[in-house]
Amino acid sequence: MRVIHALWLRNLKAFIRNKPALIFNLLFPFFFIFVFGEIFRNDFIENPMSYMLAGIIAATVFDSSFRVSSSTIDDMTSGFMKEVLVSPISRLNIAAGQFVSSATVATVQGVIIFGVGFFIGFRITSPVTVVLALIAMVFIGLVLAGFGLLIATMTKNTQTFQAVSIAITMPMTFMSGAYIPLSMLPGALRWVGYFNPLTYVVSLFRTITLEKLDAPVADLVAEDLAFEIGRVTMGPVQALIVLVVVGTVFIGLSTLVFSKVDFSRMNRSKDDYLEL
């Protein structure tokens, strides 16, 4: 636990000290409100602002938990990870520390946007919803942190990770319903969205924050909070099951790959040396 806490505190401090990135990451999501806000104004959505903000928060938590994993690459190439491994510390504890720190940073950013949202039209009527939303953000951060660590461990290079992260996160975000309702996508892209884990992150988080966990399935489908895939309806319960399975796979694979990486052969890239 001391190792996990130390890595968690280290990454959290690094996040807080990087103020330009922090400010940009908090301002950028609100840009989408003005760009895509009108899309969600229709007869099926009762509170478009809450609906839009819920999707933005879910997408932000995903993006943050994924990108924080890039610190793993810095630790690898700088030699910090080698120094840590010299001590009698299990790699499982190191991976756990990265998961927890990524989820924490992502949750902090989600909570800040969540709080600011109340000043621009976000509405919640029950304190229980706030607690469930917070739990959901932590859960989402942990599930997707495994995905980020898996990509970071496999790429082993900051430049490669940045290119791969953009290629992965942008399509996943825009085909999840976070910014554009899934029902508005062409048929082929809609089916791609059904196999996108982020789709179920967005739908589950929206269902919680819009306080519609007990709403009829027909209403959830009309608001893109549930999906009919053939004869199967993917509601909140099914979305939670999907995320648990996906999270287990990502965390398991990332831990396995991380435990087999040979850090002794990892050094700074040539580009890094040219910058020095």
Q: List strand residue ranges (DSSP E) for the chain, in order.
A: 227-229, 232-234
Pinpoint the alpha helices (H) of 157-269.
158-174, 187-194, 197-209, 217-222, 236-260
Residue ranges, the chain, pLDDT below 70? 1-3, 6-7, 21-22, 25, 30, 32, 35-44, 69-70, 72-73, 75-89, 91, 156, 261-276
pLDDT number for residue 273: 37
Closest by CA position to 201, among listed 139, 128, 127: 139
Copy the structure tokens of residue 202.
Answer: 């967005």
Helices 197-209 and 48-67 meet at what angle, rounded to 10?
130
pLDDT number for residue 270: 43
pLDDT number for residue 37: 63
pLDDT number for residue 114: 86
